[in-house]
Amino acid sequence: MKLRIGTRKSKLALWQANFIKEKLEKKGHQVELVLITTSGDKIQDVPLAKIGGKGLFVKEIEEALMRKEIDLAVHSLKDVPMTLPDGLTIGAITERENPFDVLISLKGVPFEDLPQGAKVGTSSLRRQVQIKRRRRDLKVETLRGNVDTRLRKLQEGLYDAIILAYAGVKRMGMEDKITQVLEDFIPAVGQGSLAIEIREDDQDVWQVVRELDHPESRARAECERAFLRELQGGCQVPIGAYSWIEGDSIFIKGFVSDLEGIKFIEGMKSADIKSAEKIGAQLAKELLSKGAEEILREVYGWNT
């Protein structure tokens, strides 16, 4: 069977698609890449939270999948919306790379030692509030674009430091640029895993891709995604969640914050791994009743 993989054209997306292509070729399949431009790629200069649309990096690829122009789509899991269009499903979630954010500073200075008022580049609300909570003095400035564009802007001296996902930096072969792994910053839901999206009724492709599924990474993804889904999957609100497995138990830590990082509602839960999805949703409900609902109501105009 010849398999057509739909992917964005960015260097990172192509790395990820080729990574899956090679795995499928090793299993004896013929594979070709189909490059697709998404709305997220066209709008490069506006913070994603301001654009506000969900799934900006996946929509056009999903449409190609539904039109049967491709057989599978490879995405960064963290870019995939919490609810998929009818007829599509995630056929595999790959083994998670280091899920954390990293700091890359111009002079190799770690976060704690950045000078007063230093400029830190990121457009992620989640990263922004976690910076502010630790260092009110730092200036957080917008930074969008592909991983290589962001690194170039740092080199040009537009920022003293930037924050990126470890996974993207590693895949771009830039690990040696990392100043510090920010293990106490809560990452984005699903950060570090790849999602392979397929048509639900395509049994042949499902059989092929299911071998790339990593059950522990899937349980963690389901746990974190249930948390975000319960919070309406917002990308205009700073939200983060991180889950991990110890023995037969799964643990999840998550937060919802206002834009200044002043109202910062956080919590943690654990349960048997079989209840991964359930505790993700439960943690969200707990945070909603502890003040997250008020935050979401302000942003989304809820009137419940």
Ligand X SMILES: NCc1[nH]cc(CCC(=O)O)c1CC(=O)O
C-alpha to C-alpha distances, 114 to 130, 207, 209, nearest whole angstrom: 15, 50, 45
Tokens 């983060």 — which residue? 240
Report which of 123, 116, 165 is spatially closest to residue 143, judged by C-alpha positions: 123
Dist CA 6 CA 197 (whole Å): 10
DSSP labels for 155-191?
Answer: HTTS-SEEEEEHHHHHHTT-GGG--EEETTS---TTT
| Alpha helices, H only, the chain | 11-26, 39-42, 48-51, 59-66, 125-134, 147-155, 166-171, 203-209, 215-230, 276-287, 293-300
Which residues, 226 to 285, sit near ligand X by CB under 6 A?
none
Contact string 33-72 vs ligand X (x = CB under 6 A): ----------------------------------------
**Which of 3, 167, 223, 279 is in the footprint of ligand X by CB under 6 A?**
167
The answer to whether 122 contacts ligand X (rule: CB under 6 A) is: no
Q: Which of 79, 160, 197, 230 binds ligand X (CB under 6 A)?
A: 79
Six-digit token pair at 281? Answer: 């949703």
Of the candidate spans 85-93, 163-171, 253-261, 281-289, the one that interacts with ligand X by CB under 6 A turns out to be 163-171
Is residue 248 part of the annotated active site? The answer reads no
* Binding of residue 123 to ligand X (CB under 6 A): no
**Residue least distant from ligand X (Cβ):** 168
Range in contact with ligand X (rule: CB under 6 A) among 23-31, 74-82, 263-271, 278-286: 74-82
- Amino acid at position 29, single letter: H
168 makes contact with ligand X (CB under 6 A)? yes
Which residue in the list 45, 71, 79, 184 is annotated as catalytic?
A: 79
Pick 147 or 279: Cβ nearer ligand X: 147
- Residue numbers at the binding site for ligand X (CB under 6 A): 76, 78-79, 147, 164-165, 167-168, 191-192
Catalytically active residues, by annotation: 79
